Amino acid sequence: MCPCPGQGKGQSQITLDGIEDPEEFNHFVLALFQKNMAIEASFQAQMQRYYLNAQDQIVSEETHPVSLKIIVSDDKVNEVLSNLDA
């Protein structure tokens, strides 16, 4: 959260990593927008990863980690986190 002066409001980003089934979170994300608690939400996935191994060879690896990024106003962070726990 930002230390916004006076009546100013900032935005915070909440990121959930390692989501196995993104469809399980669709209802949660939709409810956040219906309650005007989220500004933006997106699922992000990485399909391919490249790196150098010990022999300086490029290695390609197929991965499927999914993350959910939710942008909320600072005054809604605690409420969003409690909804997530529920």
Residue 3, domain member (yes or no)? no
At a CB cut-off of 8 Å and minimum separation 6, what does 17 contact?
65, 67
pLDDT at 51: 85
Confidence of residue 8 (pLDDT cuts 50, 70, 90): low
Structural domains counted in the chain:
1
Whether residue 21 has pLDDT greater than 90? no
pLDDT at 29: 92
Residue span of the structural domain in which 42 resides: 11-85
Residue 23, domain member (yes or no)? yes
At 82, give phi and psi (nearest 5°). Answer: -70, -35
Q: The CATH number of the domain where 25 resides is what?
A: 3.30.70.120
Residue 78, domain member (yes or no)? yes
Residue 1, domain member (yes or no)? no
pLDDT at 59: 87
Q: What is the pTM of this model?
A: 0.69
Q: What share of the chain is helix, strand, coil (3-state, %, to 5)?
A: 30, 35, 35
DSSP 22: G
Contact by Cβ (8 Å): 83, 28: yes
Mean pLDDT of 73-83: 90
pLDDT at 84: 82
